[in-house]
Structures are given as C-alpha cells and as structure tokens.
Chains A and B, each alone.
Chain A
Amino acid sequence: MKVGVVRFPGSNCDQDCVVALSQFPGMSAEILWHKEDTVAGFDAIILPGGFSYGDYLRCGVSARFSPVMGAVKDFAAAGGPVLGVCNGFQILCESGLLPGALVRNRDLRFICEHTHLRVERTDTPFTRAASSGQILRIPIAHGEGCYFADNDTLRDLREHGQVLLRYSDERGYLSQETNPNGSRDNIAGICNRERNVFGLMPHPERACDPLLGSTDGRVIFQSLLS
C-alpha cells in the first residue's frame, strides 16, 4: 500500500506520518507537495497536522486553493481513503469533505497532552483493526480543536454512525471533564457518510513508538492496511 502524505506550506507532522507509516510491513509513504495536481498511484492520502499557510484567516481555509486538493476531492469521491489529522481535519471541514468546523478550545489554551479516546465504530477503513469500545491513548496538540456542528448535523452524524472517536476517561466514560477542548458530544473524530474520509484532532502518528509513551495510534494505520 502506497500512502501519499500531503505537505502544505506550514505542515509540520508530515515527516512524522512518513516515519510512523514506514514501520508497517507492506506500507510505504511518500511526501506529496501541495502543488501536485494528481494523486495517481496512491492507495490512500493523509493530510497531516501543522499550521498550513500560517492558519491565516481560519485554520485550514487556504488549503482549499492548493492544486492537490482538487485531486484529493476526486480521489475521495471515487471512494479512496483520506485521513486528516489535526490541521488535516480542519482542512477536510473547510473543504466541505466533512461536516462541521473546528473552533477555539473552550479554555482558549493550546493543549498538548495525552487523551483517552473511545472507539465508537469499527466499520470503517480507519478503525476496522480496533474493537468497539476500545480505549486508545493518543496525544492532542491544538488550539482550535473544539468540534462544532449544529443540532441537525449532530443528529445526522449519530444516525449514520459517523462519530468514530470520542474523548473519554481511561475506562471509556464520557463527561465534560474528559472533554479537553469543549467539542460537542465529546467528538474527537468523524467520518463522512460514505466512510472513506476520516478526520480526527488527536495525532495517531505520535503514538506509534514506545519511546513516545504509547503505541495505540498504530491501530488506525493497521486498519488502513488490513
């Protein structure tokens, strides 16, 4: 499996993704410069974290004008798996590939810490190697990660099983205390209705090596492979 990791000006987790993905036998990863206008030859696309275009105006908004995004949209429309991490999640929302938006954290602070995530659905290419209700320990690092969607959109997400990860405690209980950024419904990650586009604020690529304190992020990439 060949994964393209898009590098926008200001991406800073692109190389981390390549390193994390390269651990998996059968998986290779390559950087894809944002000026590319094709993603031909790739089996999956990752939009990594960072501060694309300096996060000017709004996080993730400028990336929609990158040539590569047209190709990513076509790739997604054809059913190709697209994963957006952190700034990549913001880009997916701003580009209309996922519903909702990411706004300033409830407490206005940039948060960099490990979180516990409850796996809500395993019927996607990104979570199928996990078990339902499994708790993953994966770090977040963001200032604008509070997921917002209006009530109708939230109901829609729930009805179609599009919420894949929620912030919980280590036993899987949900509360405002386990919600680091004020996201509605403790949402940490959602997919589109077709289930091939997934965005999440936590960084699975930072949880793939025991040296970094957790290897729970592996299950996301393992899912892509299986």
Chain B
Amino acid sequence: MPKVIVTVMPKPSVLDPQGVATAKLMKQSGLAGVGRVRVGKSIEIEFESTPDAAKLEGVARDLLSNPVIEDFRIETLP
C-alpha cells in the first residue's frame, strides 16, 4: 500500500507562537544551541493504489494546507 506524507509548515513570514514557545521550553530543558523552532504538522495518507500526482498536489495545496499561511511538501514512501 503506497503511503504519502504531506508535511505542512507555517510560512517563514507568519508568526509561529507555538514554535517560539516550544523553543523556550527546549532551552529550559537544558538543550544547548536551540535556535528558531517552527511547529507544523505531518499528515500520513495510505492509498490503495498509486495516487494521481497532480490531484494529490492540488489537495495538498488547497485543502491540507492554506497557501496564505502555510507551505507544504509531499513525500511518497515505497
């Protein structure tokens, strides 16, 4: 069963308070060298057959992400 992972990340220009808060917590945990942190989401999709690449990209762009605030990337696992 082919599996696809769509990763959705806030655009660099969008305020990501969750990333800022997470960076702060990581620093408080004693991890050295923490810089900028961004928090996004990862969507795992199992397909019964190989998906149509153009349609998948359309869904990733217009539904799974919001192009105003987010970027996405698609990774197909064998």
A101 on the interface (CB 8 Å rule)? yes
Residues of A within 8 A of B54 (CB): none
Q: Which of B15-23, B28-36, B44-52 contacts A (4 or more CB under 8 A)?
A: B15-23
B64 on the interface (CB 8 Å rule)? yes
**Interface size range on B against A:** 10 to 19
A100 on the interface (CB 8 Å rule)? yes
Could you tell me if A101 and B68 are in contact, using CB atoms closer than 8 angstroms? Answer: yes
- By beta carbon, the residue of chain A nearest B13 is A150
| Chain A residues within 8 Å of chain B by Cβ, number | 19
Could you tell me if B18 and A104 are in contact, using CB atoms closer than 8 angstroms? Answer: yes
A105 on the interface (CB 8 Å rule)? yes
A146 on the interface (CB 8 Å rule)? yes
Instruction: Compute how far the CA of A103 lies from the CA of B68 in the bound complex, rounded to whole angstroms.
Output: 10
Instruction: Compute how far the CA of A138 lies from the CA of B64 in the bound complex, rounded to whole angstroms.
Output: 33
A58 on the interface (CB 8 Å rule)? yes
Could you tell me if A146 and B15 are in contact, using CB atoms closer than 8 angstroms? Answer: yes
Instruction: Compute how far the CA of A58 lies from the CA of B8 in the bound complex, rounded to whole angstroms.
Output: 12
CB distance from A179 to the nearest CB of B (A): 12
| CB within 8 Å: A-B pair count | 35
Could you tell me if B18 and A108 are in contact, using CB atoms closer than 8 angstroms? Answer: yes
Could you tell me if B66 and A182 are in contact, using CB atoms closer than 8 angstroms? Answer: no
A148-B14, A148-B15, A182-B15 given; A108·B21 CB < 8 A: yes
A141 on the interface (CB 8 Å rule)? no
Candidates B17, B63, B64; contact of A104 at CB < 8 Å: B17
Residues of B within 8 A of A61 (CB): 63, 66
A94 on the interface (CB 8 Å rule)? yes
Digitize A71-113: 1 where CB-to-B-CB distance is under 8 Å, 0 elsewhere.
Answer: 0000000000000000000000110000111011111100000
Could you tell me if A100 and B68 are in contact, using CB atoms closer than 8 angstroms? Answer: yes
B69 on the interface (CB 8 Å rule)? yes
A40 on the interface (CB 8 Å rule)? no
Interface residues of A (CB under 8 A from B): 57-58, 61, 93-94, 99-101, 103-108, 146, 148-150, 182
Report 19 cross-chain contacts, Cβ distance below 8 Å, ordered by A residue: A57-B63, A61-B63, A93-B68, A94-B66, A99-B68, A100-B68, A101-B66, A101-B68, A103-B10, A103-B14, A103-B15, A106-B15, A107-B17, A108-B17, A148-B68, A149-B68, A150-B13, A150-B68, A182-B17
